[in-house]
Chains A and B, each alone.
Chain A
């Protein structure tokens, strides 16, 4: 493009600017805006008058800070309370199912029940319980196995135990009863399909008997001895032996 058209264009644009120099908004627009301005500031005055004056003696506007964060804080507190309640209810209020025992294929007992009579009644534990409710577990179980924690007999320590094995029909399981710590021959483990450490066959094993109100044994669980763990690794308290307790007998947590 040569200079002549550019020059002409500049002159034409300048002429257009001069022509439009008198253009401005209509006066009614100023009146409308002034009316809106008055209305806005009247509303602001009303709002300011309805709010308490800030305390100028303080260096920090606590009221404005509270007004800004009150709703988020209230919502957060509500969520926290709701979560705590839900967590408490899930642990405490949720119905703990009864220990389910299989009735379809009960483990055949090679040893009569009378052989399960205590060899040595170490310490009777007249613990009242209701309907096989397990003690509340406060920490989540990392890996579900056939182990469970039995309350320590004397020292209060926790012990590792198997599930309860039913000794009678499931329908005959008592709603109330007592838990008695007994010692039974280690060979009893075989009757329940549990592996036995042959080297310790001559030593009895602790067991917890669930005794009904009529004095009859209803279920049994075996408790691991408080010996060095190596001897009991293969005693059915875990699954490393390759054999496992039938799933129907496992506790449902």
Chain B
């Protein structure tokens, strides 16, 4: 199945070929899951979205038109709709300075010669992750697709159903908002102790 295209797998899947479905799922589930995880910040929601996307693929495979879009962008479009539904339903915006209890602490495994550098790197990554989650959804989805999913502007425009120019402007504005957020976090005297308090050193190699 390695040399088979997505479209061929889809055609085989329509005939009831389980192997084709499994191959297609394994090929595309990670990008769908990561997109949902980066958009929502919740693994449970990301799994729900992934499951729903592939359920739609099973039920409505006939709706896919290979002349209009690639299967990847079609799946990401479905994932985007599901994510927006979740965001609208739950209205759960992840605050940058959220109150973390003990169960929500992050576990880090520091490897390498300089554990402090690794710690700083992880800290920076988490700051960026939280900053992305604070963006408004229409900026967040562009940043996630273009910068984290590494999709082209054209593919992103296909997923979002808008013009490439819109993608460019939203990405520019989204990154500017990210810079402002990260700068505010960096300059805030309470931010760093609060973030450090949420970290727990579990293992040092």
Contact = CB atoms under 8 A, between A and B. Distances in A.
A35 to B, nearest CB: 11
A8 to B, nearest CB: 8
B1 interface: no
B46 interface: yes
The prevalent SS among residues of B at the interface is helix
Interface of A: 1, 5-6, 9-10, 12-17, 19-20, 23-26, 29-30, 32-34, 36-38, 40-41, 44-45
B34 A24 contact: yes
Contact of A23 (B37, B55, B125, B183): B37
B58 interface: yes
Nearest to A2: B179
Contacts of B55: 33, 36
Interface in B49-69: 50-51, 54-55, 58-59
Contact of B22 (A9, A23, A26, A34): A34
Contacts of A17: 147-150
B84 to A, nearest CB: 19
Contacts of A45: 16
Interface stretch (B4-12, B25-33, B87-95, B189-197): B25-33
A26 B47 contact: yes
Contacts of B59: 40
Q: How big is chain B's contact interface, by range?
A: 35 or more
Given A19-B125, A29-B51, A41-B16, 19 more contacts: A5-B183, A12-B127, A12-B182, A13-B143, A13-B148, A14-B147, A15-B121, A15-B124, A16-B148, A19-B122, A20-B148, A24-B30, A24-B34, A25-B50, A29-B29, A33-B55, A33-B58, A37-B21, A40-B58
A57 to B, nearest CB: 24
A16 B37 contact: no
B128 A15 contact: yes
Contacts, number: 87
B167 interface: no
14 contacts: A5-B183, A6-B175, A9-B128, A9-B178, A13-B128, A16-B129, A16-B132, A24-B29, A25-B50, A29-B51, A30-B26, A37-B58, A40-B59, A44-B16
Interface string B132-162: 1000000000010001111000000000000
A19 B127 CA distance: 13
B176 interface: yes
Contacts of A30: 22, 25-26, 29
Contacts of A10: 147
B18 interface: yes
B21 A25 contact: no
A25 B179 CA distance: 30
Contact of B47 (A1, A25, A38): A25
B38 interface: yes
A38 B50 contact: no
Contacts of A37: 18, 21, 58
Nearest to A40: B58
